[in-house]
Amino acid sequence: MNIFKQFWFSLYSPKTISRYRLQKIGKTIFFLFLLAILYTLPGFFSLVKDVKLQVNNVSDLLKDNIQSISLNKGSLTINDNTPFERNIGEYKYAFYPNETVIPSKLKNEQYAFVVLKNRLVIKNDKGEQDYPYPSLKSKEIHKTQVSKFIKSIKEALPVFLIALFFLFYLGSCIFIFIVATLLAFLTALFKSTKHLPFRQRFAMVSYSLTLPTIIYLLLGLLKINIPFQTLIFILITAGMYTLTIKNLPSKK
């Protein structure tokens, strides 16, 4: 049976999954690599959208508002250091090059890029992240140079996103394989599968991951956030596996 038919049957047929336990381990591992791609897509697509949006926003903002910028030993100077703010989409871009702490009126902003004298602060749904400027001595950069820098960033963006995808994919592979391996070990405690070798239990767990992976993919693409997604992912896998072992042929 080819990999696409296996994928289709593993979505809904525990009986068919039980037969996959007899296949070679290499095919099972290859199937997990394919599942990891699907598991990667929601988070990666969301990040790509955010990165492109912010690059374009910052590009327009710098072109319209920045005449000169310099960074000297970790201290930033923009134009004549007059503070200014701009709202673009759901983000507030605030420039306070004379301040080292966030102004009180920005404390309640959920989405903001705050440029301070000594650091950049990004506020989003993941919290607040600080990025201190490097302690380097540099010369003043003018608007034309800023425009060239922005252009080079945009040109390099596809390469950056490809590299980012592989980082996301590596994380997904690690997660998928850890879940499959741990559950395969734990299923040795089940009386109904205790007699099966690890390779067969690993195969059945791996194909039981198909349904929760597709659910995770659809929720991500539809931007539906539910609490305890990882726990639910594991519970659905365990449920599929339980149905699978009930379809094992009885011992004669």
| Interval 114-134: pLDDT, tens | 888 888 888 887 788 888 877
Are 105 and 92 in contact by the 8 Å Cβ rule? The answer is no
CA 80 to chain centre: 39
Q: Where are the domains of the chain?
A: 3-46+162-246, 74-135
Across the chain, mean pLDDT equals: 85
3-state secondary structure of 80: coil
Residue 31 has pLDDT above 60, yes or no: yes
- Residue 4: pLDDT band (50, 70, 90) is confident
What is the average pLDDT across 48-77?
77
Residue-level pLDDT at 137: 61
How large a percentage of the chain has pLDDT more than 90? 38
- The DSSP result for 207-250, as a single string, is HHTHHHHHHHHHHHHTT---TTHHHHHHHHHHHHHHHHHHTSPP
Pair of tokens at residue 231: 């726990």
3-state secondary structure 100-132: CCCCHHHCCCCCEEEEECCEEEEEECCEEEEEE
Per-residue model confidence as pLDDT tens digits over 189-247: 776 666 888 999 999 999 999 999 999 999 998 988 888 988 999 999 999 998 998 88
Task: Give me the residues paired with residue 68 across strands.
Answer: 142
